[in-house]
Structures are given as structure tokens and as C-alpha cells.
A and B are shown apart, each in its own frame.
Chain A
């Protein structure tokens, strides 16, 4: 069926039978475009999306010096090399630590703050909300110098704690806004009912609200993880020792070396990509519903 048919079919029944507003037989649903209008552009876009992924896989798996477009024979030498010689094993462990710690801290702090914003009216609420919005305009990269001085003062230079703190702080505003919107979507009466049944606020929150927040929390938490996993400048600036570095800094080192080892770079890139792609594939569904509940209806 084509567009023309689909649209022409619609007005036909209207003049003859005005009262049944929607004749159900054989009509195309509103969200069903002609097949080629879906598959053609999607296919083109998919090629654009996947070629870079293929390219990095190609470089990582084929032997050095090969120009074949198919990674054959497959070799894992590049992975072995970056993992041990280029200390990606250490970087990986550091990145996991930073990512998970940022995830936990962001979620907990934002959950507390988000609950306050969603359920209470208090004096500085408007000012606080304004501060959250304004902080979105503060460029993290531009605050490197003062942040460096603060962490130097706190004796936290060269400790992963500095990066975890900085990442958490820059994730907080958006996470808090999202979580407070998720909580607003949970009817207050549910909580009140739990109080009547004898729960205190904390218990009521834990057994009534928290389970309903799960998709939203997954969205916010994974966002925090992915961001801190990928972010580069804080780690570059606050961590000097090689054994404290994270994966993006390791990748940058591979790129800025005098003669770039493309195989190693590709293997390092794949090591960097795998966790986020996995997290992302897993939470993709919640992410979309999470955003539609939290971000847009605010």
C-alpha cells in the first residue's frame, strides 16, 4: 500500500456513514507507514552507524599490517598487548570503580533530594530548583582549575575519589530533576495509605514508592555510569599516576603517541565500548520510558 491509498481510503466512508467515527476494517494504524519508508532510511542510517563499529572491530581483530576488509585470520594479539603492556587491565578496573561509585552516589543523593522536591513545599525550593537549572550552564571543563585547587587542598589529587566526587556533582542536577519527576508520577495517596497502615515515612517510601521508581532509577543510574565511564577531562586533570588512570585517558595516550599503533587503539576502543554498550542494550527499553516519564512532562 502507498501513502496515497492510505490517505484516500480514509475520507471515503465519512459522507455516507457519519456516526461511526472510526470504521475499523482494514485501516492502517496511525503508526504504520509504508514499509519502504521505514526500511530504506533506516537501512541507510544503520550503515552509517555500523561502519565505524565494524572498522574498529576490523582493526582490533586482524593482524598488524593487514589491509584486508575482512578480519581473517582473527588474532587477539592487540587485546593482549593493550591489556597487559598498555595497562588497560588497570584502567579498566579503575573505570569500573569510578563508574559504579558515581552511579551509587548520584542515585542516593539525587533520590533524597528528588523526594524533597517532589513531596514538600519548603522555603528555598524555588531557589534550589533555579540553582539546579543554572548549574546546567556551568561547563565542567571550564572549572578544571578551581576544582584542581579544591582537590589539592583536600589531598585528593591522584586519588580516584576526586574523579568520583566531580563526576557525581556534575550528574546530580539532572538526576535530581528526573527523579523528582518520577516521584511526582507516583500518587501521593499510595504513601498516605501506607502511613494509615502504620508505616513510617521511610518504610512507606521503601515498600510503596521505591518499587515503582525502579525503571526511572535504572535510567538515571545507567546515565551516571555511562557518563563517568566516558568522561575524560577530570581524570586527565586530577590523576597523574598511570596506575590511577581511567580508560578514556588510556585511549588518549594511545592516540597521541608519536606513531599510533592502530591495532592497539582499536582493541583499547573495544575494551572501552563493551561495558557501556552492554549496559545500554540492557536498559534501552527503560531509558525511553524513563525519559518520557521524567524529562518531558516536567
Chain B
């Protein structure tokens, strides 16, 4: 960009001197802090996770530590049913959660993009759970689902469910219960991102479409949706990665239970490392999770033709 500017403008001598005095080294200087932080606290840890995945590494059992080759991986894929269960649950969780968030988020964004009385307040209220995340969401829904004094009790009064059951400790209800709790704060995130992009659709397009007699549904299908495509693809991917990786909510809401029913792969990894101190095995699982995530993301971007011919 600096070069282009220098070529395009007839170079007035004093400005040119000033502008080109520093730039050669300046950009490197500017990215140094960020680069150092990321090298030290992201790149290096990632590499050490790969390294540990080939080790037996457990600080509480030092006599067993040492090079293990691919034993950790072999164990995960052939002998560890919890690994497979958590993988399947992760897929189910991300798929259902992100799908519903996208659907409701899109609808919500379309609604609050209209002009209506009390729009500012309405937006602030429906978006507010976005700020409340992870542990606090769990805390709130633990109160709501409480078997003695939660909303379940009042729902039982009007004939939905039964008294004294906590939806979080029953294997048949824990999945929808956790999904609803996470939707509560996930939908606003989608809605905000989509709303941001909605604001940039040119109103002329709609006016032209209206003149041509296109119905509102057609306008949505042929103008709004194509315009939102890239934003939807990107926010869906970000959210899927985030929902996959996020441990806060399930760790505190269900702890992975009942009976391992809600253990995602990252939650299993956290338990393996934090509670069981089996760092080598946890690192191997982490490596698997990382590869799966990267692979899925690449496939997703390829399939959705992100940033292709549309712009």
C-alpha cells in the first residue's frame, strides 16, 4: 500500500522523505508485540501439545513417564469408549446448537432490523444474554431447572413435566435442557453479527424489487440472503469452532453428566488433564481434536465456496 501510494502521487520532495524515512522497519516493529505474545503463548504451547502427545506424561506417576510413540492415539481409537462417546456427543452438540442458533439468530436479526417503536430498548433486551456467558448462564439455568424451586415446579403445576425432577440429572432431558440454556446466550451473538451485515444492504435494491412486484419473501430470498451469505458462513464457522471448544457452560452446568451423557471431547480432555493429571493422553486427545477441527473447517469453507465469485 505504501508503495502504491508513492507511485500514484507525484512525489513532493519533503513528504516523500518523511514518509519513506521509517516504513521499511516500522511494520515489523508494530507487529512485534503481537507476534511475540502469539509465538510464546499460542505457537509454543501448540507445539508442546504435539510433543506431549507422544509421551507418557503424568506428574503424579513420574516413574511411567517417557516416550510412548503413538500409544496414546492407539489407545484412544481402539480402547477408549469414552473418547468415541465424547466425539459423537461433540458432533451432535455443535450441529444442533449452531443450527438452531443460526435459524433463530437470523429470524431475530430480521425482526429487530425493522423500524418499530421501542427498537433500541428491544434490541438491548434481546441481545443482553450475549454479554452473560459461560458460568453465569449455567448458574442462572441451574436456578431455573432446580427440582425444588425451579421453573420445573411451576410447569408441573400446569401439567408439563412432573414434580421433583431436575431436568439436568435425567439422561432423557439433559440434552434439550442444556441446548436451551446455551441457545439463550448463543442466539443473540448470531443476531448481532447478522444484524451488522443487514445494515449494509442497499435499500435501493428493495425499492427496485418492490417496483418490480417482488413479494417480501422473494425479496428475502433473492436480495437479503445472498447479501448475508458471507457473514452467515463466517459466523457459523466461528460459532461452531467456539461451541466445540467451549468448556465453561457444560463444565459448570452438568459437569459432563449424568453418566457422561453430556461430555464433549474438550470437556473430556479438560477432565483428563486437570483432574486425572494424565497430560500425555490429554495432549493426544487435543491433537485429535485440533486435526478434526481444522479438517472440518477446511471442508466447510470449500463446500460453502466462501468469498468465491460473490463479491
Contacts and interface: CB of A to CB of B under 8 A. Distances in A.
B302 to A, nearest CB: 15
B210 interface: yes
Interface string B207-218: 110111111100
Nearest to A169: B41
B34 A112 contact: yes
A116 B30 CA distance: 6
Contacts of B52: 145-146
Interface residues of B, number: 115
Interface in A82-137: 109-110, 112-113, 115-122, 124-125, 128, 131, 135-137
A265 B143 contact: yes
B258 to A, nearest CB: 15
B149 A67 contact: yes
Given A49-B184, A284-B124, A255 B37 contact: no
Contact of B144 (A55, A117, A176, A296): A55
Contacts of B151: 51, 55
Given A173-B38, A268-B139, A46 B274 contact: no
Nearest to A56: B140
A41 to B, nearest CB: 6
A138 B42 contact: yes
Nearest to A176: B34
Contact of B1 (A38, A120, A165): A120
Contacts, number: 316
B158 interface: no
Contacts of A7: 210, 213-216
B289 interface: yes
> Could you tell me the dominant secondary structure of chain B's interface residues?
helix
A103 B199 CA distance: 27
Interface string B253-279: 001000000000010011001100001
Interface in A30-57: 30-33, 35, 37-39, 41-42, 45-46, 48-53, 55-56
Nearest to B43: A131
Interface residues of A, number: 113
Contact of A121 (B3, B138, B153, B211): B3
A224 interface: no
Interface in A166-185: 166, 168-170, 172-173, 176
Contacts of B215: 3, 7
Contacts of B210: 7, 10, 22, 27, 30
A213 interface: no
A1 interface: no
Given A32-B114, A112-B31, A131-B38, A145 B279 contact: yes
Contact of B245 (A46, A139, A149, A232): A139
Contacts of A55: 140, 143-144, 151
A137 B211 contact: no
A128 B136 CA distance: 35
A288 B192 contact: yes
Interface in B110-158: 111-116, 120, 122-136, 138-144, 146, 149, 151, 153-154
Interface string B151-187: 1011000000000000000000000000000001000
27 contacts: A7-B210, A11-B213, A14-B212, A14-B213, A27-B210, A31-B114, A38-B111, A46-B126, A52-B144, A128-B35, A136-B241, A142-B289, A143-B49, A145-B49, A145-B279, A146-B46, A150-B40, A166-B41, A192-B19, A201-B19, A230-B132, A233-B248, A255-B138, A280-B127, A288-B199, A291-B193, A296-B193
The 6 A-B pairs with the shortest beta carbon distances in the complex, nearest first, are A30-B206, A11-B213, A146-B45, A139-B245, A116-B30, A292-B196
